[in-house]
């Protein structure tokens, strides 16, 4: 993706300022905290690899260098929240606990095709990231922290006790929702945070480089290559952050000039975040992310829904993704007219779900407790890619 930013360098005081669209500050660098020196996986796949933490954001960044061995950076970056609204969760415009919930709004179709709406979320503040990078003479080391601010809006409504035709007990009476409880609109903000670090080591200088990185926190899903959810709607209508961990290791070998051989292995895993509530139309009185009452009986088999549509009985809520990627790039030409390189890549990607109900007779008696059988499902895929590229500069 093309990046556009402005930089200001004050070499006397060792300050650097960046304003515009660039890689997130938490993306690993090769040296210091320098734009265009990010350590991006060499993959042909431009979604990179599971476990790699990155975004490309509009941001304002200030970096202070302490000689050539240490740098400290602070960045405020364009936010966005990935809200889980699948099986068992409250969707935008849905309601729970006597509240109508709004966390997403439709914008215009500017820069989009006809009928395409650029949806936006309602964050009240940018993401804040701080990072320390060390270059002591052998290797490159980083540690960072991030603070996020998730926001939605709720509107108090009359909860149906004795349902009329087409209504469900415990749900807002949507007919009267916009005329009752005026002034009970509420803006709810919840914080998320995460910490992480990375190393880049020249195991055999000029020939073998090793890297590893990890990140743990609440509401960090957006920054992983898998884009797992950041938050889910809680019973009070607020957004509740989902805990997650991301990890990546990689090795790049340079047998001779012009050839790079790489291998990466990564994973991203989210933790369940659900509650037992009064009936609100959710699955077995549970709401949230990763509910154990999701029906998985239709997974891994062919059902009538495969041909006719309708209910598939396969919720398969994502819990974890794992990936191994191996490939190479070979320069065919590198000279006054640019560079021509070709590559080949193999990816193995595995997806695992949260445990769900393995039989239709299972019922929930509380969070994490079921009568009946339960089980998770998984699937995997092998992907092969080739690429031929010309770089004129």
Structural domain spans, the chain: 4-391
**pLDDT at residue 333, as a whole number:** 94
pTM score, whole prediction = 0.86
pLDDT at 13: 82
For 246, what's the count of Cα atoms within 13 Å in the CB-facing half-sphere?
A: 30
Positions of E strands within 219-258: 231-233, 239-241, 243-253
8 A C-beta contact, residue 211 and residue 39: yes
Tens place of pLDDT for every residue, the chain, 393 residues? 446 888 888 877 888 899 999 999 999 999 999 988 999 999 999 899 999 999 999 999 999 999 889 999 999 999 999 999 998 899 888 888 778 888 887 766 665 555 666 677 778 899 999 999 999 999 999 999 999 999 998 887 766 554 555 455 556 655 554 544 555 678 889 999 999 999 999 999 999 999 999 999 999 999 999 999 999 999 888 999 999 999 999 999 999 999 999 999 999 999 999 998 765 444 457 899 999 988 888 887 777 777 877 777 888 899 999 999 999 999 999 999 999 999 999 999 999 999 987 633 333 333 433 333 447 888 999 999 999 999 997
CATH fold group of domain 4-391? Porin (2.40.160)
pLDDT, position 376: 82
**244 token code pair:** 């997650």
pLDDT of residue 214: 98
> Are 332 and 341 in contact, with CB atoms under 8 Å apart?
yes
Separation CA 121–CA 288 (nearest Å): 19
pLDDT of residue 141: 98
Nearest to 94 by CA among 194, 208, 215, 235: 235
141-159 pLDDT tens trace: 999 999 999 999 888 776 6
* pLDDT, position 311: 73
Number of Cβ within 10 Å of residue 89's Cβ equals: 25
Look at residue 109 in the predicted model and tell me its pLDDT: 62
> By CB neighbour count within 10 A (0-12 exposed, 13-18 middle, 19+ buried), where does 25 fall?
buried
């Amino acid at each position: 993706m093309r990046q556009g930013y402005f930089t200001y360098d004050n070499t006397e005081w060792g300050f650097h300022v960046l304003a515009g669209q660039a890689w997130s500050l938490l993306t690993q660098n090769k040296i210091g905290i320098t734009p265009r020196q990010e350590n991006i996986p060499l993959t042909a796949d431009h979604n990179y690899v599971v476990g790699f933490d990155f975004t490309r954001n509009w941001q304002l960044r200030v970096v202070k260098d302490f000689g050539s061995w240490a740098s400290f950076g602070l960045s405020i970056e364009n936010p966005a929240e990935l809200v889980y609204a699948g099986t068992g969760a409250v969707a935008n415009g849905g309601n729970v606990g006597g509240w109508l919930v709004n966390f997403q709004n439709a914008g215009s179709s500017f820069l989009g095709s006809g009928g395409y709406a650029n949806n936006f979320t309602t964050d009240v503040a940018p993401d804040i990231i701080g990072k320390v990078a060390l270059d002591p003479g052998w290797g490159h080391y980083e540690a960072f922290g991030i603070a996020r601010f998730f926001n939605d809006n709720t509107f108090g409504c009359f909860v149906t006790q004795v349902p009329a035709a087409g209504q469900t007990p415990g749900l807002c009476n949507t007919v009267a929702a916009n005329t009752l409880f005026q002034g009970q609109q509420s803006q709810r903000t919840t914080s998320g945070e995460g910490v992480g670090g990375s190393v880049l080591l020249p195991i055999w200088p000029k020939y073998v480089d090793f890297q590893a990185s990890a990140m743990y926190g609440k509401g960090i899903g957006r920054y992983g290559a898998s884009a797992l959810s950041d938050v889910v709607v809680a019973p009070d209508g607020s957004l509740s952050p989902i805990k997650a961990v991301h990890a990546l290791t990689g090795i790049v070998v340079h047998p001779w000039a012009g050839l790079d051989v790489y291998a990466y292995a990564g994973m991203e895993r989210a933790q369940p975040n659900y509650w037992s509530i009064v009936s609100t139309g959710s699955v077995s009185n549970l709401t949230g992310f990763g509910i154990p009452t999701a029906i998985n009986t239709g997974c891994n088999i062919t059902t009538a829904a495969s041909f006719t549509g309708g209910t598939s009985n396969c919720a398969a809520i994502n819990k974890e993704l794992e990936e191994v990627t191996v490939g190479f790039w070979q320069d065919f030409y590198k000279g006054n007219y640019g560079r021509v390189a070709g590559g080949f890549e193999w990816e193995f990607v595995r997806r695992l779900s949260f445990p769900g109900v393995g039989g239709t007779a299972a019922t929930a008696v509380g969070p994490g407790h079921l009568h009946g059988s339960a089980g998770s499902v998984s699937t995997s895929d092998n992907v092969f890619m080739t690429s031929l590229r010309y770089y004129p500069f």
